[in-house]
Amino acid sequence: MTAIAPPKKRIISISRMMILAVAAIITALCLLPYLGVVAAAMTGSVGTLVHLADTVLLRYVTTTFWLVIIVMLASAMIGTGTAWLVTMTEFRGRRWLEIALALPLAFPAYVLAYGYTHILDHPGIVQSTLRDVMNWGPRDYWFPEIRSLGGAAAMLTLVLYPYVYLLARAAFASQSGSAFLAARVLGKSPMRAFLSVSIPMARPAIAAGVLLVAMETIADFGTVAYFGVQTFSVGIYTSWFTMADRAAAAQLSLGLLAFALLLAFLERYSRGNAAYVDSRRKPHLDRITLSARSQIAAFCLCFLPVLLGVIVPVVTLTTMAVGSEQNLLSPRYLGFVKNSLILASVAALVTVFAAMVLGTLNRVTRSWATASALYLGKIGYAVPGGVIAVGLLVPFAAFDNVLDGWMRTNFGVSTGLLVTGSIWLLIAAYMIRFLAAAIGAYEGGIESVGPNIDAAARTLGANMRGLVRRVHVPMLRTSLLTAGLIVFVDVMKELPATLIMRPFNFDTLAVQAYRLASDERLSGAAVPSLVIAAIGLIPVILLCRRIKRGAA
């Protein structure tokens, strides 16, 4: 026994050192974009920024601010109202609406923008029909402009309100019926009891959902760029490509990063102070039976977001795609599909692996360092893809230039863009951006694995790597698959980071859709948009199955 004890101790040490080294690399990658943005912003010239301050910077600030405010308020009203109706009341169609209200999560906002522009723009079917029926000329009537701040806010609201809906629905479903019944006994109407009792009890969940909506809004690029709405995301892309000033892009990114991290802190704070009550031992409220007229009103209120966020876009895009000259089975389009699947698959594997490394290390070796690394990995969801792209390209471009110069001087060989010209830096950006989703799914599954199971495995001689491979992975197979699917779909939809960082001649479905829409070839953009939306339905359907089973 004494002869084999030292090797076993050495194996454990080597295993721990390997995981620590990998965790250190992951943490450094997560930290690098922020340091890169700060360094580039502080050391670069401010000439372009001064020019922007004199011309469009105030517009960037005010437009981004009002866009966030409008989307937050609209998402809060739609998400909270529909969640309360499907959870607390009974009306015909409630069961399938309870699931359908989550489906808009599968659609990127820019996909809806393409569809609604096709039908609501001046040549679209709506205005054309109005002119034909009313015998109007082009200047005889007023119609809301879809390519505007209001149009962008509407598109973002239709795809982001499910964040509030799902969290509010979970909060309402877990509430005890005692407080609501007490308010009703005291003479309050159902609406007053909803406003004075149900809403305050669910406020932490609603606030968390609204802040998530705000983060996604400031990170959006495809919708605002297509509609010509000048936000910070558009300004970063314009400074990088149109003005060819990376310092200005970094300086704008720094401002957006500060706002995004503030939202991340507020979201964390809202969840950290939430108190959740176990309602299993308390009476649940029987659903309120609505009158016939109220049932029709409740159905219409819940069906309208589904109609505008799912049915209309799908029908419109399908009609556009049928009449398009784009052939999804052509070698060119198969190349786009292949590139998208490669990026999404590799990014999903890398991100889930990174989440397991950071999560396992924090579980086995709890310390401020491991907790900080895990938190640093979680805040990437609050940072827009364009900011991460700028933060990674600046330091790695400098590294490529130094390496190329050194190789030319000493060996007469040019290495070119060794890192910045590869897909691996783009995959690193995806990992940083979506690591929080993978960590969340991992933590949700690892909670079901008691610490005694880990202790038993370690007692039987398993090192940290064996604990993960033989115990955690088999028990967390479903959670890890969910994490991989979420990251896979998010990568398929991600646009700003892909536009900025993709290698030359390596386009994806999202890039192709954006390029065709920018050229006003909306029928062609419908083909890749439908594929992206179809793939996005996979994790949403899995989520809906959990909702159907009653999982809060």
DSSP track, 395-461: HHHHHHHHHHHHHHHHHS----STTTTSHHHHHHHHHHHHHHHHHHHHHHHHTTS-HHHHHHHHHTT
Residue 505 backbone zone (phi > 0: left; psi -120 to 50: alpha; other: beta): left
CA–CA distance, 399 with 50 (Å, rounded to integer)? 28
CA–CA distance, 21 with 26 (Å, rounded to integer)? 9
82: pLDDT confidence band, cut at 50, 70 and 90? very high
Query: Which of helix, strand or coil describes residue 319?
Result: helix
The answer to whether residue 37 scores a pLDDT higher than 90 is no
pTM: 0.83
| Average confidence score pLDDT of the chain | 82
The answer to whether residue 281 scores a pLDDT higher than 60 is no
Sequence-separated (6 or more) residues with CB below 8 Å from residue 151 = 113, 116, 144, 145, 227
- Please answer whether residues 425 and 396 qualify as being in contact, where contact means their C-beta atoms are separated by less than 8 angstroms: yes
Mean pLDDT of 257-276: 68
Which phi and psi angles does 289 have, rounded to 5°? -85, 120
| Domain assignment of residue 37, yes or no | no
Mean pLDDT of 364-388: 82
Q: Which domain holds residue 107?
A: 55-289
| Domain assignment of residue 168, yes or no | yes
The DSSP secondary-structure symbol of 476 reads T
CATH number at residue 160: 1.10.3720.10
| Domain assignment of residue 465, yes or no | no
C-alpha distance from residue 348 to each of 170, 233, 427, 489 (Å): 27, 25, 9, 9
What is the number of domains present in the chain?
1
Mean pLDDT of 316-338: 83
| Domain assignment of residue 262, yes or no | yes
How many Cβ atoms sit within 10 Å of the Cβ of residue 346?
Answer: 18
Q: Which of 29-38, 460-469, 488-497 has the lowest mean pLDDT?
A: 460-469
Q: Which residue has the higher pLDDT, 187 or 245?
A: 245
- How do residues 166-188 score in pLDDT, each as one tens digit? 888 878 877 656 666 676 666 67
| Domain assignment of residue 178, yes or no | yes
| Domain assignment of residue 483, yes or no | no
Specify the amino acid at residue 199.
I
Mean pLDDT of 481-489: 83
| Domain assignment of residue 425, yes or no | no
- How do residues 333-354 score in pLDDT, each as one tens digit? 888 889 999 999 999 999 999 9
Mean pLDDT of 390-395: 87
Largest Cα–Cα separation, the chain: 97
The answer to whether residue 68 scores a pLDDT higher than 90 is yes
| Domain assignment of residue 215, yes or no | yes
Token pair, residue 407, equals 């190789």
CA–CA distance, 407 with 393 (Å, rounded to integer)? 20
